[in-house]
Structures are given as structure tokens and as C-alpha cells.
Amino acid sequence: MGKSLKKPTRSQAERWNSSIQSTYGTPSISLVRGKGIEVWDVDGKKYLDLLGGIATNLLGHNHPKVSAAIAKQARELSHVSNFYSHPQVLDLAERLVKMSGDSSARVFFCNSGAEANEAALKLSRLTGRKRVVAALGAFHGRTMGALSLTGQPSKRDPFKPLISKVVHVPYGDVRALHRKVNGRTAMLIIEPIMGEAGVILPPPGYLKAAREICDKTGALLVIDCIQTGMGRTGNWFGFEHEGIAPDVITLAKGLGGGLPLGAMIAIGPSAQLFTAGSHGTTFGGNPIACAAANVVISEIEKSSYLSLNATKGALLRNLISPIDGVIGCRGRGLLIGIQVRGGKAKEITNKLATAGYLVNATSEDVIRIAPAFIITERQIIKFAGAFAEVCEEVYDG
């Protein structure tokens, strides 16, 4: 006890493998510092971060106002149990209620996306119904409840049996919703864009049809905005372009601007389903995480990020689409999936990292881009140039 840490003699990979479980594989890059859209590794190499902590660092790394708010809150009050209120949690809850557009909304705070969806699942049981409909390919998290909603067999199968009475239907298929959502369905959960599945957009009108079907059957419409929320797609929530109002919105990722924070926002009658003792978590609504979230929301409100995200996303898609090797470039706002030819997504991702650009391959064919909102047009153009060079090397080399 009390011994100071010695300078490590083993590589990062050796230290990782001998101390951390292999759930994420072994990272080849070890990051130590970030500023804005850039990050630096242990050897001082600089990268342009086009992934933003997977759609999480909305204002980039080490944003002065976010860092100052975190430091100030840490000095004042870093944690308090939910036996007590504090100004940061109240400010944030009121803002989220306002953003939801419905004063009947009530917020449950938690620490992650999986927890937000777990909360939604538990909430739906209090309707007295048990059945759930979710989408094939969807990702809603990896805890047992959230995993039951996740529609990816590779992630689900090793952990069966999961929660029963969850059926998965093809994403974007309105007829399948008509078939499976009925008077015994507690909730239908949908991502406005399937992020982890490779930035898959549903056909126009899908969310509207889902709303109508839920209205008719009395099922709760839960929209998982964990990846598509907080302005990423050009609106506060990824469903707004369809003009619908969900019964439940789940948020995490960008909400805390890089700190662990999730929220389950229930609207209308569903806001009254949880009562004292129904649910809870020690860290939910933590003052530091809420302080960070309040600054993130203020900065997005003060700037034109929402409309700029749409413009910047369109620029990126227009620059990337014509590159040889790219089959398609889709998305909304700053959530973009680049479909590449020949199963080369991982190779391109690795070569981009070597060239100093961080992106992520969601599969053999798709590369995901989800940068911080502060990314500039110049940085987008620079990245598109690097992407073209790497594609030339991969496909013509």
C-alpha cells in the first residue's frame, strides 16, 4: 500500500491483456490527451477524432466550459444520494422536459444507454402488459433486459434465456409492425436510425406509422435516441423530422458530453407509471455529470449546431460518396455510415488510423462517422481527402 506507480516497462497491449478482460479486444492505440476534435496517443501522435467517443463527445475533447463546469461542481459537491435534490439535476430535468415539448414529461436519470432502456422496459411492465416488439438488427444495450431488446443474434445467443415475450421484426417494415404490435403489447422500441447496425435509415413514414399503430393498440412507443439524440441528426431528438411524439425517449451517450449519464423520459400517462420505490440507481443524476450536461445543452442552444450538423453532414456525404470504393454514404446530420466495396471497412479503418484519423467499422462493409459538433468544414474536407487517398491505396494498390 502507498507505493507510487513505477513507469511501466511493458507495452500498453501487454498491460491491457494481463489486467483487463477481453470484451473489447486489445486496443492498438492508447490515448492520453484531447483538445477539440483532436486527440494524442502515448507516443505524441495526433489524430483527428471522427468518432467522438462513439457519438458521445458532442463538444469535442476538453471543451473549456465543460471542463470548467466539471471542475467547479467537483469542488462544490461531487456526489449526493437521491435522498436529496441538487440544482444541477433540477436544471437538467427541466431542460429535458422542455426539449421533449410536453410539460407532462418526467425524467429518470441513470448512467448509460443500457440502463435507460432497462428503465423503459421496467416502466412498460407497469402497463400490466408484458409483450415487447423490437427491430431485428437494433442495438439497445447489453445488460440482460436491454440485451433482450437488442436484435442481434451474435450478441444475444450466448446469454439465452433472455427476457421472454420479446419479438423482433424487420426494421422499416410497417406491415410487420401491424402484424406484431397488438392489444397485448406493452411497448414497441425503435431507433430512429440504427447506429450500431451500420447507420441504417428506415423509409420515410416509418416512425409515423409506428406512432399510429401504438395509438391504436395502446402499446407504449419507446424511441431509443441514445445514439441519435442531443442534436446529432440536426434536431434534439432523432425522431423529430417525422413530427411524432413518443411515449418514452431514452438518452445517454452525448447527454453528458463525455461523462456517464443516461435518461429515460416518460411522457403523458407513462410519466406516472413509476412510483416511489419502483426503480433507482445510486449514481443517477450525479451532480458532476448533470453539470456537464447542462453546459453541453447551453452551448448547443447558443450556437447553430443543430442546423450546422445537417449542413456539415451533407458536405461530408457529398465529398465521400463519389470516392472509388464507396458504394454509398448515408445518414442524417453528423451520424454517417459509409458503405465500402469488398469487405474492406476494417482495412480502411486501420489505414486511416495510421494516417491520423479515427473512425469505426461497424461491420466488414460499413464505416461509421460520428464526430463532435465542433468539427469544421476544413476538417471535413481534410478527412475526405485522406479517405480518398486510403481508398486509392486499398482498391488500386
Ligand X SMILES: Cc1ncc(COP(=O)(O)O)c(C=O)c1O
Residues forming the active site: 139, 224, 253
- Cα end-to-end distance, the chain, whole Å: 55
Residue 113 binds ligand X (CB under 6 A) = yes
The torsion region of residue 169 among left (phi > 0), alpha (psi -120 to 50) and beta comes to: beta
Candidate list 114, 132, 189, 369; residue touching ligand X; CB under 6 A: 114
Burial class (CB in 10 A: 0-12, 13-18, 19+), 167: middle
User: Residue 120: which residues within 8 A CB-CB, separation 6 or more?
Assistant: 187, 189, 220, 222, 248, 250, 264
Residue 224 binds ligand X (CB under 6 A) = yes
- Cell triple for residue 109? 436519470
Q: Which residues of 319-331 are buried (b: 16+ CB within 10 A; e: fewer)?
A: bbeebebbeebbb
Give the interface segment with ligand X, choosing from 107-115, 176-184, 207-215, 334-342 (CB under 6 A).
107-115
Residue 226 binds ligand X (CB under 6 A) = yes
Give the interface segment with ligand X, choosing from 180-188, 224-232, 301-309, 324-332 (CB under 6 A).
224-232
Candidate list 195, 198, 231, 238; residue touching ligand X; CB under 6 A: 195
Cβ 195 to ligand X shortest distance, Å: 5
Cβ 253 to ligand X shortest distance, Å: 6
- Cell triple for residue 341? 466495396
The residue among 214 and 226 lying less far from ligand X, judged by its C-beta, is 226
- Cell triple for residue 298? 447551453
Cβ 228 to ligand X shortest distance, Å: 7
The amino acid at 160: K
Q: Does residue 161 have a cis peptide bond before it, meaning omega lies within 30 degrees of 0?
A: yes
Considering only residues 121 to 160 of the shown chain, the ones binding ligand X according to CB under 6 A are: 139-141
Cβ 293 to ligand X shortest distance, Å: 14
Give the interface segment with ligand X, choosing from 2-10, 69-77, 112-120, 373-381 (CB under 6 A).
112-120
The residue among 34 and 195 lying less far from ligand X, judged by its C-beta, is 195
Candidate list 92, 120, 252, 391; residue touching ligand X; CB under 6 A: 252
Cβ-contact 40, 46 below 8 angstroms: yes
List of residues contacting ligand X (CB under 6 A): 112-114, 117, 139-141, 191, 195-196, 224, 226-227, 252
